[in-house]
Structures are given as C-alpha cells and as structure tokens.
A and B are shown apart, each in its own frame.
Chain A
Amino acid sequence: MASNSQTSSITATIEKIGRTTVTAVEEIGNGGALIFESLYWLVMGRRLRQPVRLPSIFAQMMEIGIHAIPIVALMAATIGVMLAIQGIHTLRIFGAESRVTIGIALSITREFAPLITGILVAGRSGSALAARIGTMKINQEIDALYVMGINPVRFLVVPALLGTVIMVPCLTFFSDIVGLFAAGLYVNAELSISMAAYFDEVREILTTDHLMHGLSKSAIFAVLIAVIGVVNGAAVTGGAEGVGRVTTRAVVQSISAIVVTDMIFAFVVTR
C-alpha cells in the first residue's frame, strides 16, 4: 500500500510537470499564431473590408509611448547617474576615473536604456493590455466584437502590437539621450570634465552599431510585451480575480522574457 501511494505521488508529480509543459508550449504557440494573425490583418484587412484603423494605432502610441515619457525620463536619468557613480568609484582603484565615459556610453546605449524601458513598458502597458483584454473577455465584449463581424485581433491586438513596436524603440532612444545627459551632469560635477568635452567623447565612442544594438533589441522586447499581454489576457478564467491573476502573470512573464532575450541577443550578436 505504501509503495502504491509513493508510485502514485511520483506519477502525479510527473503528470503535473507534463501538464505545465504542455500549457507552456501551447502559450508559446498561441503567441506565434497571434503574431502571424496580426500580420495577416495588417496586410489583408483592407481587402477583407476590415482595415486596421490609424486612429486606434495613434491612440495606443499615445498611451504606450507619450504617457510613459515622464517615468522613463526619471528612470533613465537615475540609471545614468548610478552608472556614473559606480564607474567612477570602480575606476578610481586604477586611478582611471577620466576613462569613465566609455563605460557609461556603452552600457547605457547597449544595455540599460533598452532594459529599463522594456521593464517600464511591461509594467505599464503589458499589464494594462492583459487587464483590458481579460476584462473584455469576461464581460463578453470580445464575443460582442465577433458577433458584430469585427475581428478582435484586427480591432484590439494589431493597434496595441504596432503601437508598442513603434514606441518602445523611440522611448529607448529617448532614454539613451536622457541617461547620457544625466550621467554627464554627474561626471561634470565630480571630475570637472566640461559637458562639451564629455559629449565629444561620447560621440567619438558611440557608433551606429552600438545604438542599433540597443534599439533593435528593444523592438524585440516590444513584441514580447504585447504578445505576452494579449495571450495572458485572452486566457483569463474566473471573473475579476482571474483578471488580477493574468495581469500579474503577464508582467512577470514579460519581464522574465525581456531579461532572458536580452542575454541571448547579446550572446548571439557579440559573437
């Protein structure tokens, strides 16, 4: 009897692992299908008399991009100053404080600006997207779209996806500038290097390659945020509590996906 219950608990564990794996694979599949369906509506929408509306894309860009500017600026400036402090502190060991600019310029444009922007947009807009789609599903608003002959992917997902993919690289570029500027202010105060000299050096160090590394990464983050938000929102079950659950899940998953993708991207591109 004892061995029997032991076997059954092992089977239960294996079964649980199996089910989780199947769910995960299913969600990744849903995400991929969603990207293809979005592209389909973007290209074919007009021919099917269901065009993707420009005003709704602009509305999303406003919400995802423009409204995020204050918090992105604040965070980018903070990260810039933080990097300057740490850089100077570390380089002082070798007496090489004046070389701090190269560290700041490269880490902001290649890593910190895309990462912090991605995380902020995931927290602001990925969660909002999951909550919006989840609530609409629970209130039968998604069904209502279907019965009105309005495809929800075309009507809800494409504008959000497009808005995110356009705005996240823009925000990243913006945080590049803010971060570099804020770091410059600190370097200027601490090491008495003039802002002009600092920016000359930054211009010398930064090539298009460095900037594009960060910006193209951020476009991938944008796709991840939008798709994970929608897939989670659409998978909602069980009322208001369910909406809270999928919102949290969307944020946790998209931040994890961003960090992991960041590493993989850096590995593949720098080799």
Chain B
Amino acid sequence: MNPNINPDHKLIEVEDLVTHYGSRMILKGVSLDVREGEIMVIMGGSGSGKSTLLRHLMALERHTSGTIRILGEDIARLGTRELVELRTNTGVAFQGGALFSSMTVGENIMLPLYEHTDLDRKTMEIMARMKLEVVSLAGFENLMPSELSGGMIKRAAMARAIVMDPKILFCDEPSAGLDPVVSSALDELILRLRDAMRMSVVVVTHELESVFKIADRVTVLDQGKILFIGTLDELRASPSERIQNLLNRRPEDADLDVDAYLTRLTGETVPGAASL
C-alpha cells in the first residue's frame, strides 16, 4: 500500500450520481471517492459510462441528480469565478492530447500560466521547461504539436495538465493507441507524479496491464453502475463472474431477452416488449 495515501482526506466525493444523455440514462447512481495521494483507475467496457463519469468529474457536463464534490466544493453550486479557481487546481490530460495546433508545445504548456497568473514571460518559460523536463520532453518546446509522435503528444499534454501544480490529475486513456514500451513509460510517469508531486490521479483506461501497474484502487463500471471498488488484491479475489471475465479477457455472454431480440430484428415494437 502506498504510504502517501491519506484515507481521511477525500479530494473527490461522488454521491448517487445520475446522468442522462438526451433521454437515455447513462450513469445510474454512481458513488465513489478519491483519496489524497492515490491513483484511482476507472475501468469498464465501452458503453459502461466511464468516459461520461470522467466528463462529469471534470465539470464539463451537468448531472441530473446526486452530488459531485471536488476539493470539498459541490461543483453544481459554483459560480464562474469559483469554478475557474477550482479548475486551476485540477489538470486534465485528454486522450488525443488536445494540444492547440496553432501554438508551439511551449506555448501550449504556458497557456494556463498566461491566463491565470501575473508571472512575467521569462518565469513562465522556465516553468514550462521544468514541466517538459518532468515528462522527458526537454528541448521540444519550440516544435509544433503536429511535429510530435503520439507518445510525445500525450506526454506534452501531461506537462500542460500539471503546469499549475494541480492537486488532482485526470488522465483519459493514457495508453490508448501507443506501443507497449511507450505506454509503460507513461505509466511510470503517472506513478512519478503521484510520488514526487503528491497528486491524486484519476485514470480512465481499459488496458489491464497498466491497471495492475499503477492502480492503488480500482473502480469497475458496468452499464452505468458500479460493479466493484477496491484495491488490486480485492479485485483479483473478487468472486463476481463479470469481473473475472474482464480480468481474463473473456467475452461476456449476451443477455438472452427474446422480446428485445425480436424488436431489434424487425425494427418494430413488439406488443408487450420492454421498451429499449
């Protein structure tokens, strides 16, 4: 167990979160918390709602009911200024990097500093170089994002996410689309950020290898509900068949619902069938 974790200090608390996309319910009452100094990995198959949960944790969407408290603040009640304040304390590394293609790598990393601090340019440049050093991209600050490889873009995005020294770092699929060596280097980087900078990290991924390498605790989502929350040992020992299927990469047996099957085939609503 990682000694830096402070189980009494919860940086993220989600209670009974229900969300909709149009009229479709995506998250159906999710509760979880993230403690100071831990890496919480959120996993689940596609369509399980893990990306939606992350978008809500980043306050990019409005939820239907339930509460999300980040650093003690209920994000639904924050005004523009308080929300900006909160956002300077969180960092996000997006799946595709989301670097601004019209700016150099250095300018990308400096942007939060430029917008939220009154530092002079020289200081900002030094801070940006320091963060590039952390993600092993020193000397690349004058390149454009289009000149970087996939792994480098993800590391640059990580540098931009941590430039304000946030308390919480969100990573969306950090190892998706990367070769094993590069993705393992990214895992090392996440561990280093937790240990050296005492950040809490929330990682959404479906790469089992990196889950077992970095996670302090794991949340498994399935069809909008929480299937499991716990440590890696608890995960391995879980009696749940769905979790064992997930861990052993066995495909799920499809639910057998005759009415739903007929509805799908005919494209018409069968009288008496449960609506989908």
CB distance from A1 to the nearest CB of B (A): 15
Total chain B interface residues with beta-carbon distance under 8 A: 25
CB distance from B132 to the nearest CB of A (A): 17
In the complex, are the beta carbons of B100 and A141 less than 8 A apart? yes
Categorize the interface residue count of chain A.
10 to 19
- C-alpha spacing A213/B84, complex, angstroms: 44
Q: Which residues of B contact A149 (CB under 8 A)?
A: 83-85, 87-88, 112, 115-116
The answer to whether A144 has its CB under 8 Å from any CB of chain B is yes
CB distance from B110 to the nearest CB of A (A): 11
Instruction: Pull 18 A–B residue pairs with CB atoms less than 8 Å apart, ordered by A.
Output: A139-B96, A139-B98, A140-B94, A140-B96, A141-B98, A143-B92, A144-B92, A144-B94, A144-B100, A147-B58, A147-B87, A147-B92, A148-B115, A149-B83, A149-B84, A149-B88, A149-B112, A150-B112
Fill in one digit per residue for A184-219: 1 if any B CB lies within 8 Å of its CB, else 0: 000000000000000000000000000000000000
The answer to whether B95 has its CB under 8 Å from any CB of chain A is yes
* 8 closest Cβ pairs, A-B complex: A149-B87, A149-B84, A144-B98, A140-B98, A147-B92, A140-B94, A148-B112, A141-B98
Q: Which residues of B contact A146 (CB under 8 A)?
A: 58-60, 87
Query: Out of A49, A139, A148, A150, which one reaches B101, CB within 8 Å?
Result: A139
Q: Which residues of A contact B98 (CB under 8 A)?
A: 139-141, 143-144
User: Interface of A with B (CB < 8 Å)?
Assistant: 48-50, 135-136, 139-141, 143-144, 146-150
In the complex, are the beta carbons of B94 and A150 less than 8 A apart? no
In the complex, are the beta carbons of A147 and B81 less than 8 A apart? no
Q: Which residues of B contact A135 (CB under 8 A)?
A: 101
The answer to whether B80 has its CB under 8 Å from any CB of chain A is yes
CB distance from A253 to the nearest CB of B (A): 25
B113-131, CB < 8 A from A: 115-116
Q: Which residues of B contact A50 (CB under 8 A)?
A: 84, 115
Residue of B nearest to A140 (CB): B98
The answer to whether B219 has its CB under 8 Å from any CB of chain A is no
Question: Which residue, of A141, A143, A147, has the highest number of chain B Cβ atoms within 10 A?
Answer: A147
Q: Which residues of B contact A136 (CB under 8 A)?
A: 100
Known: A143-B58, A143-B94, A150-B115. 11 other contacts (CB 8 A): A48-B81, A50-B84, A140-B95, A144-B92, A144-B94, A147-B58, A147-B87, A147-B90, A147-B170, A149-B84, A149-B87
CB distance from A7 to the nearest CB of B (A): 17
CB distance from A8 to the nearest CB of B (A): 13
- C-alpha spacing A49/B88, complex, angstroms: 13
Known: A139-B98, A141-B98. A148 touches B60 (CB 8 A): no
In the complex, are the beta carbons of B94 and A148 less than 8 A apart? no
- C-alpha spacing A149/B55, complex, angstroms: 15
Q: Which residues of B contact A141 (CB under 8 A)?
A: 98-101
In the complex, are the beta carbons of A150 and B111 less than 8 A apart? yes
Known: A140-B94, A141-B100, A147-B60. A48 touches B111 (CB 8 A): no
CB distance from B121 to the nearest CB of A (A): 12
Question: Which residue, of B55, B83, B116, has the highest number of chain A Cβ atoms within 10 A?
Answer: B116
Residue of A nearest to B102 (CB): A132
- C-alpha spacing A148/B163, complex, angstroms: 11
